[in-house]
């Protein structure tokens, strides 16, 4: 059913973001196919956000398993918020 091979486990932050984008894209397609417009829209927002994160992951954040927990990591400033809503609106036109 999915275009993502579950045997190829993501091994870094960029891979995890790409995996989330692929899975939510497929879920959005399914939701649209069943007429769940709002759910499909929200899933598209998640997909676009994941794609955006995947493109902006700094090289030193390659492997999530080696990173400190979010609660204890004060070395990185918070990431700017993406424009997910406007990106979805552009894609829907």
Average pLDDT over residues 72-86: 48
Ranking 24-33, 36-45, 81-90 by mean pLDDT, the lowest is 81-90
List the one residue out of 54, 41, 48, 58 whose CA is nearest residue 83.
48
pTM beyond 0.85: the answer is no
pLDDT value at position 26?
98
| Dist. CA 39–CA 70, nearest whole Å | 28
């Amino acid at each position: 059913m999915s275009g993502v091979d579950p045997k190829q486990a993501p091994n870094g932050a960029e891979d995890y973001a790409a995996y989330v984008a692929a899975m939510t894209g497929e879920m959005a397609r399914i939701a649209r196919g069943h007429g769940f417009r709002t759910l499909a829209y929200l899933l598209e927002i998640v997909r676009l956000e994941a794609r955006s994160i995947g493109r902006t992951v700094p090289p030193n954040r390659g492997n999530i398993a080696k990173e400190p927990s979010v609660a204890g990591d004060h070395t990185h400033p918070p990431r700017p918020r993406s424009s997910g809503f406007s990106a979805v609106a552009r894609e829907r036109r």
